[in-house]
Structure 1
Amino acid sequence: MSMPRGRGLTAGLLLIWACGATAAEAVQAPRLGRPVDARDAARWDLSVFPDGRGLPAGRGNALDGAPLFRQHCAACHGAGGHGASAEELAGGSEPLTSPTPDKTIGLYWPYATTIFDFVRRAKPMAAPGTLSADEVYALSAYLLFANGVIGEHDEMNAKTLPKVRMPNRDGFIGIDAPLPH
């Protein structure tokens, strides 16, 4: 059974009025969250590109990163990044052309800057975004070292990280504008 035209709206407004709300309050969107000011927006404007745009000042090497990895990452990713309850990050041996490929950082990821970008945004799991730039550079260096891509003493920073040539750099087909090699 349908209600005559206009009576549904009247009945709805009566119900809202009976609950103590005005018609104006009934049509407003819920007031969830809070406005974002420019300073807050800048904290989340973290994109890092393969050519290094977006990398902050800072530095670190694998020696600095090893204790950070043990503290923040090993519980899930295992000693040396060889896997535990979370993905294996290092130590893979089967290339992507294998029937059972290893998608570790060294065999899969095409750009070293992706490590920095991901770690800065998403890690540690219980407190994402809390690591300093130096800590993220050190963890990136440690993961590159654990994958045999750089040396233990090689410093990673905004100039050196984008220059790291990942083994799978040419393993993806670009769908956007070509990136510089």
Structure 2
Amino acid sequence: MSMPKAAQMIGVVTVAMLATRANAHDDPRSPHLGTPMSKSEVAKWNRTIFPDGRGLPPGHGTAREGRALYVEKCASCHGDRGQGATAEDLVSGPEPPTAAKPSKAIGSYWPYATTIFDFIRRSMPPANPDTLSSDQTYALTAYLLAANGIIGKSDEMNARSLPKIKMPNRNGFIAIDAKK
């Protein structure tokens, strides 16, 4: 059975493109797709933060500092005290979620404080994500932890202290670690 002419042409074009790309790359193991990234480009995208704090950047912040940022950047969607508005509520009691009360607020649901930092850094504010400084992100994280009664208002959050926070629902999740 022979291949239709159009499929033969696509195959020829694809082989020609791969051969051209193969000449552009030195690594024979490469699938020859795209352009190799530089180390600085990889570093920009490789921003994983683990529960144990690996990946957290330098910086610090307290709930007091975070309160003003929260009012400015978060309250319009999450409510003036984290009770929810157009977006999810962020503040709750420490009781884990149940079928009758399926809250995913920070105090009742989130297993690791480092995940809060990571989510804020990557996603907030929604119209302009990844624009907060590390200090601002630590301060907002501290504010939300304090609002949920997990830390004190003057406790400083940084790369050493944040992973040490024991979240109320930590045991409600099964840990997965990519390093293993």
So what's the TM-score if we normalise by structure 2?
0.78
Question: Counterparts in 2 of 1:1-181, with a 5 A limit?
Answer: 5=2, 8-9=5-6, 24=13, 28=17, 36-92=37-93, 95-97=96-98, 99-174=100-175, 176=176
Structure 1 runs of 4+ aligned residues shifted over 4 Å read: 4-7, 10-13, 23-27
102-111 or 90-99, larger mean C-alpha shift: 90-99
CA distance in 2, matches of 1:90, 1:48: 23
Shift of 1:7: 6.6
CA contact (8 A) 1:82 1:88 kept: yes
CA contact (8 A) 1:92 1:103 kept: no
The structure with the larger Rg is: 1
CA contact (8 A) 2:60 2:158 kept: yes
Give aligned pairs, total.
Answer: 163
Shift of 1:43: 1.2
CA distance in 1, matches of 2:43, 2:154: 32
SS of corresponding position for 1:142: helix
Shift of 1:10: 9.5
Unmatched 5+ residue regions in structure 1?
14-22
Change (3 A) 1:102 1:94: farther
RMSD: 2.8
Unmatched 5+ residue regions in structure 2?
19-33
2:30 aligns with: none
Cα deviation digits, residues 36-61 of structure 1 (max 9, x gap): 32212211211111111111110000
SS of corresponding position for 2:117: helix
Identity %: 52
Change (3 A) 1:28 1:154: same
